[in-house]
Structure 1
Amino acid sequence: HVPARLLRDDTHLKDVVERLRTVGVDDVFVPAGDAAPPAGPYDGALPVLRRLDELGGPFAHLGITGYPESHPLIHDDITIQAMWDKRAHATYIVSNLCFDPRVLGDWIARIRRRDVTLPVHVGVAGPVQRAKLLSMATKIGVGESTRFLTKHASWFLRFATPGGYVPERLLDRCAEALAAPSARVAGLHVFTFNQIAETERWRRALLDRLGG
């Protein structure tokens, strides 16, 4: 995970690349990040991706972001265009959280119409406790909490409503859209909200129920 807006300069980027390569990392996810203002000259993911190409392509796999539900600060057309611009540098897309099967299916169809053919890893939330999400929102500070809730109000409410979110239910409702060959969905990206052990137990139990 290499947020572009946290990179101070080219030397910092090279240092990050070297450290990751030293420990054998060959798959990195490059979002823009939320630092405002940026720590250095990289104001988005695309300049970082281009620079990585200039450095010889040190990673075999490069992920970029996708936004099935509208980004709170960026118009939908711009996020779709950004994926088009990045497609030559990346190898896959990770979608942000989405809880509406129709919206998710429409988004996948839209990026395919734009000839963005990168495989998509659909972002889903694991079985996150409502109290955990509330705790995360409040611990990051009053100002940051307001920003967090404003940016993510639609899916926050899905968690906050009792019985409002069950991962399996969402996956069942999305199954048709995700399974279509034209969708090129490569798998899931599970957001754990730091509940790693609980999410792994859920994942293993789900695979056992599916016979896999």
Structure 2
Amino acid sequence: MPELKHRLSPLPLPNLVGEGVSIELAPAQATGFTPSDQAFPRGSRVFLTHLEGKPIAMQVEAARLLKQAGFVPVPHLGARHFETVREFTDLVQAHSRNGVTEALFVGGNPLSASGPLEDAADLLAHPVIADSSFATAFVGGYPEGHPAISQNALAHALLRKIAICHDRGLAPRVVSQFAFDGAMMAAWAMNLHRNYPGVPVHLGLAGVTSLTKLIKFAVMCGVGPSLAALRRSGVGLFNVLADKDPGDLIGAIEADLPSDAPRIFAHLFPFGGWEKSLSWLQDYRRRRAD
């Protein structure tokens, strides 16, 4: 028991769920997003998805509301979701009029582009970014790889995106896809810090939800190798029916990070709803502090 207590203690281990935890919402959820300051303080980042087929005006309004409420909106900009370059520039300019300072630049879910924009680098390099209000650029990371992109291609793309950020005067940050293997995620984050010193890393964690829903979203998002660890946790009827939380995964990540590791932040994907995940987070922090 003493050893277990030491592993769960925030000191001397890194504290993944201290200040800087962010969460991801669909734009339609912004109007009802009213967490307590204890669970999710003002000034925290709220990422807003860019869903294919949804009006981009919804994202603009959601970002405006969140900023007005004291949060930091981080809208997703998916290159392959834009049918025209004008659609992209209009969205950037709309967010800029509202004073949005951060965005996540990604290729998007379709493997092939229906419009002229292919990947996140195309967005970052566009001249409209230089005239925008954006000061921070998030780019995507994949701890266990990408089902359709080779590791070499991923590494080259990340190098290019961070170089463009520096060239454009943007502060780059990496936010990852979620996974379920703590040791692998810690090793991936530390490798990023070695290759890109000073670039913050935000590790994706699936929030509180059922095992079946987690597996469903993992398959949809291309999460593969670490899915076996999640399935093993569901052995037995009670475990299958009970909601899963990222507590054990957080402990595993922190245990595999050196005590002097640069700060790594948690980014929550609340598949079971933001209320459930943030309520769990508040309780988890309280238990760790006891």
Shorter-normalised TM range: 0.7 to 0.9
Query: Is the 2:180–2:230 contact (alpha carbons within 8 Å) kept by the matching residues of 1?
Result: no
Map Cα deviations across residues 136-182 of structure 1 (whole Å, 9 max, x no partner): 69xxxxxxxxx727x23445555555248541111111114446444
Q: Which moved further from structure 2: 96-105 or 159-168?
A: 159-168
Q: Which has the higher contact order (CA 8 A, sep 6+)?
A: 2
1:100 to 173, 177, 181: 181
User: What is residue 253 of structure 2 aligned with on the other side?
Assistant: 174
Give the alignment of 1:119-158 within 5 angstroms.
119-133=200-214, 148=220, 151-156=222-227, 158=229
Give the alignment of 1:158-197 within 5 angstroms.
158-161=229-232, 162=234, 163=239, 166-178=245-257, 180-182=259-261, 184-193=262-271, 195-197=273-275
What SS does structure 1 have at the residue aligned with 2:109? coil
2:73 aligned with 1:2, yes or no?
no
Flag the 1:158–1:124 CA change in 2: closer, same or farther, 3 A: same
Letter in 1 for 2:223: H
| In structure 2, C-alpha distance between the alignment counterparts of 1:99 and 1:73, rounded to whole Å | 20
Please identify which structure carries the higher helix content.
Answer: 1
Flag the 1:209–1:73 CA change in 2: closer, same or farther, 3 A: same
Query: Kindly, what percent of the aligned residue pairs are identical?
Result: 24
User: What is residue 289 of structure 2 aligned with on the other side?
Assistant: 211
Letter in 1 for 2:160: D
Flag the 1:195–1:81 CA change in 2: closer, same or farther, 3 A: same
Letter in 2 for 1:170: L
User: What is residue 15 of structure 1 aligned with on the other side?
Assistant: 90
User: What is residue 91 of structure 1 aligned with on the other side?
Assistant: 172
Flag the 1:194–1:4 CA change in 2: closer, same or farther, 3 A: farther
Map Cα deviations across residues 92-139 of structure 1 (whole Å, 9 max, x no partner): 0001112212212322233334346411011111112134446769xx
Please identify which structure carries the higher strand content.
Answer: 2
What SS does structure 1 have at the residue aligned with 2:178? coil
| In structure 2, C-alpha distance between the alignment counterparts of 1:10 and 1:20, rounded to whole Å | 16
Gap runs ≥5 in structure 2: 1-75, 166-170
Flag the 1:111–1:193 CA change in 2: closer, same or farther, 3 A: same
Query: Is the 1:178–1:185 contact (alpha carbons within 8 Å) kept by the matching residues of 2?
Result: no
| In structure 2, C-alpha distance between the alignment counterparts of 1:128 and 1:154, rounded to whole Å | 20
Flag the 1:114–1:21 CA change in 2: closer, same or farther, 3 A: same
* TM-score (norm. length: structure 2): 0.60
Tell me the C-alpha RMSD between the 2 structures.
2.8
State how many pairs are aligned. 201
* TM-score (norm. length: structure 1): 0.80
| In structure 2, C-alpha distance between the alignment counterparts of 1:70 and 1:200, rounded to whole Å | 28
1:40 to 86, 102, 115: 115
Flag the 1:136–1:96 CA change in 2: closer, same or farther, 3 A: closer
Gap runs ≥5 in structure 1: 138-146
What SS does structure 1 have at the residue aligned with 2:86? helix
